[in-house]
Amino acid sequence: MTNILHSLPDGWEETRLDRVATVNARIGWKALTASEYQPDGYAFLATPNIKNSEIDFTNVNYISEFRYDESPELKLKPGDVLLAKDGNTLGIVNIVRLLPRQATINGSIALLRSFNMEPRFLCYVIQSSFIQGHISSVKDGMGVPHLFQRDIKRFKLPAPPLEEQRRIADFLDAETARLDHLAELRQDQRELLALRRWSHFQQVLKNAGGPVTPLRRVVRSIVDGPFGSAFSSSDYTSEGAAVVRLGNIGFATYRPADQAYIPISLFRQFRNHAVSRGDLLIAGLGDPRNHAGRACVAPDLGPAIVKGKCFRARLEPDAADPHFVALLLSSPVGASAIEGRGSTRSMINLEIVKAALLPIPELRKQRSVVAEYQRAWEHTETAVNACTRQLDLLTERRQALITAAVTGQFDIATASGRNVAEGVSA
C-alpha cells in the first residue's frame, strides 16, 4: 500500500480514513437477541445484505423503534459506506445509494460516513486491492476474522481534489456496471447449466422408478454435530481432526476449501459425531443459493467430526447407496421433499430429514442412476467450469480497474474500460 501511495499524481495527497470519515459500529448487541426480531419494523442489515452490487433491503430482519433509536449514529443515510468487519465476509463493502426504508446495521458491519471525501470514491478505495490487502494483513488471524475500528480509522487513502474524486467515481460507476452486467450473464448461464444437470438427473430418476419412501427406512443412524458452545472457531488449528462445516457440503460434492481442524485431543471428546469415508453429510442450514438438506458423501478426511447443523448419516448398505441419496437430496426433488415436511428450507432438523418422502428404487437401479448422471455431468461440468473461470477473471479485472483509477495510474479523461473485459465473451 505504501509504495502505491508514494507515487500518487501531482495534486493528490495521502490521507487517513478518520480524517475524511467517521467510523461507527455497534458495540456488542446491547443485549439485542434474535428473539427480538419482528415481522416488520426497522430494517436491520447483516453482511449478506451488502455483498451484492446493490444493498438488499428486502430479505432482512426487523427491529423495534426503541432498538432503532438507541443507536442514532447507526441510522443509515444515503452516501453511507458499509464495511463488513467480521467473519468470512470481512472486507466486503457497499454504499447506500438509495434508502427505501429506515434501516440500521448489526454488529458485523462498520458504518463509514464521509465528511471530506466523495462517498462513492471512498467506497471504491476500500474495494481496491491495496486496501483489501491491508485488511488481510491487520485482521485478527485467531478464531473468527475481525477488523477493529482503530485499524479501520488508520487506513491510508489517496486523496485527489474533490472534483476529480467525483469524475473517478462517475467513471467507475459506468465501467463496473458493465463488468457487473457481464458477470450476471455468466452467473445466469452457470445456473442454467446447473438446471440442465438436475433436469437430466430427474429424468433418469423417473425412468428408474421406485416407491416413495420416508428416508428413515434406509437410514441406519443419523447425528447432528455438537452444540456450538462445545467448541468455537478459536479452537481451530492448522492440522488435526477435520471439522465438516456447512460450507464444505456442496451439491453432491464435498467442498474442501477452507477446511477447518481441531486438536486430536478435542476430537476424542466428540467421537459420537465422527465422520468416516462414505458417510452421508447433510446441511442443516441453507440460503437462497444453497438449500437446507443438500448432501454429499464424505471423502477420506482422516479423523473428522461434523459441526453443529451438519448431519452425518449412515445408510443401510443393502438398501441405499450414499452417492445416490446425496444426489437425491441435492436435487430439486430433495429440496421439495424437505420443504414439504414443513421446513422453510433455511433450517431443518433430524426429524425433518428422516421424514422426507423420496423415490428410492432398488439398490442396483440407484447405482445405475448415479453412473448415468456422472456420464452426463462430465460434459456439463466443463461448461460450468468455463463460466466459473470467466467470473473469476471479471472479478480480478474489476478490482484492477478500481485500483488503477483510485490511485491515479491512468487518466480517466482519456481512459476507456473498453478492454477491461477482454477475453471474456459477452
pLDDT digits (tens, 9 = 90+) for 235-272: 888 899 999 999 999 999 999 988 999 999 999 999 99
Q: In the numeric block, which cell numbers belong to residue 95?
A: 454504499
85 residue type, one letter: K
The 10s digit of each residue's pLDDT in 170-200 is 999 999 999 999 999 999 998 888 778 888 8
Domains identified in the chain and CATH numbers: 2-160 (3.90.220.20), 211-360 (3.90.220.20)
The 10s digit of each residue's pLDDT in 53-86 is 899 999 999 999 999 999 999 999 999 999 999 8
Q: Are 284 and 311 in contact (CB under 8 A)?
A: yes
Tell me how far CA of residue 113 lies from CA of 42, 130, 379, in angstroms. 20, 21, 49
Mean pLDDT of 267-292: 92
Close Cβ partners of 34 (under 8 Å, ≥ 6 residues apart): 61
- What per-residue confidence (pLDDT) applies to 12? 96
Q: Which residues pair with 242 in a beta bridge?
A: 261, 304
What backbone phi and psi angles, to 5 degrees, belong to 202?
Answer: -65, -35
Mean pLDDT of all residues belonging to the chain: 89
On the question of pLDDT at 28 being above 90, the answer is no
On the question of pLDDT at 414 being above 80, the answer is no
Q: In the numeric block, which cell numbers belong to residue 193?
A: 447449466
Rounded Cα distance between 260 and 308, Å, is: 14
- What per-residue confidence (pLDDT) applies to 31? 65
Percent of the chain with pLDDT over 70: 92
The 10s digit of each residue's pLDDT in 50-59 is 998 899 999 9
Long-range contacts of 335-338, Cβ-Cβ distance < 8 Å, separation of 24 or more: 335/291, 335/293, 335/294, 337/293, 338/291, 338/292, 338/293
- What per-residue confidence (pLDDT) applies to 384? 87
- What per-residue confidence (pLDDT) applies to 74? 95
Mean pLDDT of 134-155: 79
Tell me how far CA of residue 122 lies from CA of 5, 150, 248, 305, 363, in angstroms. 15, 17, 35, 43, 59
DSSP character for 68? H
Tell me how far CA of residue 64 lies from CA of 4, 50, 69, in angstroms. 45, 21, 9
Rounded Cα distance between 255 and 418, Å, is: 36
**Strand pairing report for 61-63 and 42-45:** antiparallel
On the question of pLDDT at 4 being above 90, the answer is no
The 10s digit of each residue's pLDDT in 101-125 is 999 999 889 999 999 999 999 999 9
What's the pLDDT band for 339 if we cut at 50, 70, 90?
Answer: confident
**Strand pairing report for 42-45 and 103-105:** parallel
Rounded Cα distance between 395 and 180, Å, is: 9
- What per-residue confidence (pLDDT) applies to 314? 97
H-type helices in 307-362, by residue range?
322-330, 332-339, 350-355
